[in-house]
Structure 1
């Protein structure tokens, strides 16, 4: 079955969901393997409204895949699971064709869990477009990355709160956000963040900035840290640190585009060293 047929089937399910008001429990499992000079999407399975477009290769053997969520947004009670396995020496880039959305909830929590497993010598870029969290949304999101030996990755999360163009902030709701990064079974980085109305408004929190984000890259060096510091310059709302060989970049801003542009500039500067590929922008970002 092609990705286009998958989307058609899922669209039928969406109509049924809207009429029955049932919660989604969707799963997507992807497995990448290296065969000669090319990475193949050797395994793909899904349940519910999650699938992928057909893989393509704008950079030679590195496999680009777009993750599709046809409903266009996550509502209260939905549960999404994305599990990715990148076998030894395989190279893959995952992104999305549009922003994700978490809608207002009357009490139920929506959940999303992403597990990225990168084996020895493998490369993965996890670069979803921004996630819009509407006022009143309640969500729990976990991204767990497991690395084996010299596995390489760049990953980011860009969040947009409310609808500032309509004068909407984030005066109610909550987002529970976790990042868990392990290497060879040992914790490399663990983070748990609770963003609610208080954190959105407080000076110690987002200070009413409607967008924020985090970028991780590994393995990184002090030279990469210096390069990002040059990019930041005198800009406010930007930060970078290096923990062992894990580079961590932060940004907050009134405009989501500014956070994303900062992360794209960082990726341009470090990509050749981290994932062994020259700078390349997924074409879907330009549409």
Structure 2
């Protein structure tokens, strides 16, 4: 059992005086209304749930620049996107793409230990899978194809600036219970760009002491595998995770980067529904992040980050020190930044802590940066990470970010922020959607 201090991210830690009081208007109070008894819709608790576990194929040749194209895999929407290609050939191509995507998801899942993949008989656990592939067309727009099985569902995708495909994923089960597993594999072809996010915050319900058969509880597991080819760029920015009292959750993230590929990822977790006076209790949260770069001279590790929070690490000074919200943001840059360039970026990211409460640390990696948040407010953490997102976009000469349409932000994370964009011009960011 290990834990790591937030200060281990790097060079500078700053403590902000708290000014948040947990009022529902700050976006935290809604957590108090969540009831573990509602973790499954009634139809998902009985035999009828078995019918939902069949694969739901999703194939969309275009991400949809207007945002109007549907990604439900229907023949009708495919016909509109395929132009003068025959219906028979189109259906065969769609079936082949879905089959290949499903094979990728199954291959990724097979890498997990058998003990993690096999829930006990009659447990009613889910194993949802999603597999996505992005490619870049001659028009500069990135497009996706993919498949998913319940309770995961691929939502409608559309293009943003720089041809990036923005795609939300939906977890339809309303939360994770012990024994549930999610496996998501993503492959970006050369030059493609994508933003993946989630439609809502993820919930993990408590299992310790809830069953006479397994009083020790059972872990919920999410496995993420990202494969990026040369020049590809992926932003993995899901909404936050809420682990209820006595919940057990583990996430394993493996990123494989080709030369010139860049990956930005963030995870934000609230341990216990603190607005309802609840702590994590006997629960635990684990995270493993591995980033590997394929260079001409041989593969190299860019980052291996293993964390576990629970027990004494929730209250110790070198753990969470009693704070309920923890977050990490990692950027594996597509190139090595010059010494002054990286120093200036890190300093700007530290300046973006202004007006936010909590402990925030930011330091450089060999080829990128790492930021940590520790504090009482997921609103403050989201705001800081969103500002860092804008800084990282600017460092690459890309368009300013727009908040995904599915994010329920009430705050204004970009308010008052200016960053230097491509060719040195200044951005004054607005909270656009």
Aligned ranges for residues 2-81 of structure 1 at < 5 Å? 17-20=44-47, 22-36=124-138, 37-41=140-144, 43-59=145-161, 61-81=163-183
1:244 aligns with 2:358: no
* Greater mean deviation of Cα atoms: 217-226 or 169-178: 217-226
Structure 1 regions of 5+ residues with no counterpart? Answer: 1-12
CA distance in 1, matches of 2:257, 2:396: 14
Map of 2:289 onto structure 1 = 179
Aligned-residue CA RMSD (Å): 1.9
Aligned ranges for residues 156-171 of structure 1 at < 5 Å? 156-171=266-281
CA distance in 2, matches of 1:146, 1:93: 17
Number of residues of Structure 1 aligned to a counterpart in Structure 2: 274
Map of 1:9 onto structure 2 = none
Once the 2 structures are TM-superposed, how far is the Cα of residue 58 of structure 1 from its aligned partner?
Answer: 3.5
SS of residue paired to 1:283: coil
Map of 1:283 onto structure 2 = 405
Once the 2 structures are TM-superposed, how far is the Cα of residue 14 of structure 1 from its aligned partner?
Answer: 6.5
Q: Which has the larger radius of gyration?
A: 2
1:271 aligns with 2:298: no
Once the 2 structures are TM-superposed, how far is the Cα of residue 283 of structure 1 from its aligned partner?
Answer: 2.1
Change (3 A) 1:200 1:274: farther
Once the 2 structures are TM-superposed, how far is the Cα of residue 135 of structure 1 from its aligned partner?
Answer: 1.2
Greater fraction of residues in strand: 1
CA distance in 1, matches of 2:124, 2:173: 13
Map of 1:218 onto structure 2 = 332
Change (3 A) 1:167 1:275: farther
Once the 2 structures are TM-superposed, how far is the Cα of residue 117 of structure 1 from its aligned partner?
Answer: 1.3
Residue 149 of structure 1: which of 253, 259, 270 is its match?
A: 259
CA distance in 1, matches of 2:396, 2:45: 43
CA distance in 1, matches of 2:249, 2:266: 18
1:116 aligns with 2:226: yes
1:145, 1:181 within 8 Å by CA — same for their partners in 2? yes
Map of 2:86 onto structure 1 = none
CA distance in 2, matches of 1:163, 1:286: 18
With normalisation by structure 1, the TM-score equals: 0.90
Once the 2 structures are TM-superposed, how far is the Cα of residue 256 of structure 1 from its aligned partner?
Answer: 0.8
Change (3 A) 1:138 1:181: same
2:325, 2:378 within 8 Å by CA — same for their partners in 1? yes
CA distance in 1, matches of 2:229, 2:162: 21
CA distance in 2, matches of 1:192, 1:91: 27
What CA deviation, in whole Å up to 9, does each residue of 1:88-145 have, x standing for no partner? Answer: 0001001111101111013111111111111110111000000001110112111111
1:119, 1:149 within 8 Å by CA — same for their partners in 2? yes
Once the 2 structures are TM-superposed, how far is the Cα of residue 275 of structure 1 from its aligned partner?
Answer: 7.2
Once the 2 structures are TM-superposed, how far is the Cα of residue 15 of structure 1 from its aligned partner?
Answer: 5.1
Change (3 A) 1:195 1:261: same
1:153, 1:274 within 8 Å by CA — same for their partners in 2? no
What CA deviation, in whole Å up to 9, does each residue of 1:202-230 have, x standing for no partner? Answer: 22111111111000113152321121122
Structure 2 regions of 5+ residues with no counterpart? Answer: 1-39, 48-122, 209-216, 410-433
CA distance in 2, matches of 1:28, 1:205: 34
With normalisation by structure 2, the TM-score equals: 0.60
What CA deviation, in whole Å up to 9, does each residue of 1:148-207 have, x standing for no partner? Answer: 111012110000110111111122111121111110132111011111131112221111
Residue 188 of structure 1: which of 291, 302, 310 is its match?
A: 302
